[in-house]
Amino acid sequence: MGVWTAKDIERQDGRRVFVTGGLSGIGFQTARALGEKGAAVTIVGRDVAKGNQALAELRRIVPTGTFSFEQADLANLKSISEFADRVLQKGQQIDLLLNVAGVMAVPERGLTVDGFEMHMGTNHLGHFALTGHLLPLLKNARVVQVTALVARWAKLDLSDLQSSESYNPMTAYAKSKLANILFALELNKRQAAPGLSAVAVDPGTANTALQRHTSGLARWLGEKVIKIIGYPLDRVADPVVFGAIFPAPNEHSYVKPSRLIQQSGPPAYIEVPKPALDADLRSRLWDISEELTGVRY
């Protein structure tokens, strides 16, 4: 019996899917995988020209699929609110909300238009606000929040959420990825909409645009490691699709590749990183996120 892949899921006809970061990389491949199975997929991104290009490519690859594009900048709360208003006006149920978009290792500390540190503002607070705005359409839905392996070693000091006291690109990225897990677990616990379930997913390693800010020896070594242990391009969607489709997660569910050499193993539910088990930390981050974004669940 072969290794499980996203191609093994059942038909998804009649399901509506939104994928942030669907213009490239893991998000694009996830949109393709679900579109191939009959889901109506909307890819979400900030660049309209790139969005239309990605949309055309999806329609070329999956001519029988149903795809659309919506513009939203996760580093801009006003853009998120306007996007949500457009979606809410249509009033159509969302079955899967896949929060894939993110930035990684931005060399210099930068701020979003709302004054948030770029990693925390985009990767966590942007998705927190987006999900909160869309809650009326998320009844019986699954929310997947994409995180990363580095979250296992992150420390989240809520008194310096924006890395204003000290800034290191990978540390700031790791903090935002831990925040992603805390958000997903707390969202699943609170069931902010009837029947809503949520899960955090570490997608493993793959050579995508997320690494665009790395350079030199770090980038060269990263690409070599990815070629040895990472998913090939046609399988980078496997963990995200697994998290979206498979049995309802519980309060402590977490998905990542089940083997170091990812080509030889499928994704699976595994143990949650220890920092994410701190219920008080999860609750306090939730309260701070509501205060900073102005989005109340």
Q: In this structure, is residue 229 part of a structural domain? A: yes
Lowest mean pLDDT among 117-121, 155-159, 226-230: 226-230
Using one digit for the tens of pLDDT, what is the confidence trace for 240-270? 999 999 877 777 789 988 876 556 578 888 8
pLDDT in tens, 47-93: 999 999 999 999 999 999 999 999 999 999 999 999 999 999 999 99
Task: Note down the domain range covering 88.
Answer: 6-292
Query: Is 23 inside a domain boundary?
Result: yes
Res. 158: pLDDT tops 80:
yes
CATH of the domain at 109: 3.40.50.720
Q: Has residue 125 been placed in a domain?
A: yes
- Per residue in 179-209, pLDDT (tens digit) is 999 999 999 999 889 999 999 999 987 655 4
Active site residue 173: yes
> Which tokens is 23 given?
């213009």
In-domain check, residue 297 = no
- Which band of pLDDT confidence, cut at 50, 70 and 90, is reported for residue 221? very low
Supply the pTM of this predicted model: 0.92
pLDDT at 60: 98
- Does residue 202 lie within any of the structural domains? yes
Q: Which of 173, 231, 254, 269 is catalytic?
A: 173
Number of domains in the chain: 1
The answer to whether residue 1 is domain-embedded is: no
pLDDT band at 217; cut points 50, 70, 90: very low
234 within a domain of the structure (yes/no):
yes
The pLDDT value given to residue 270? 85
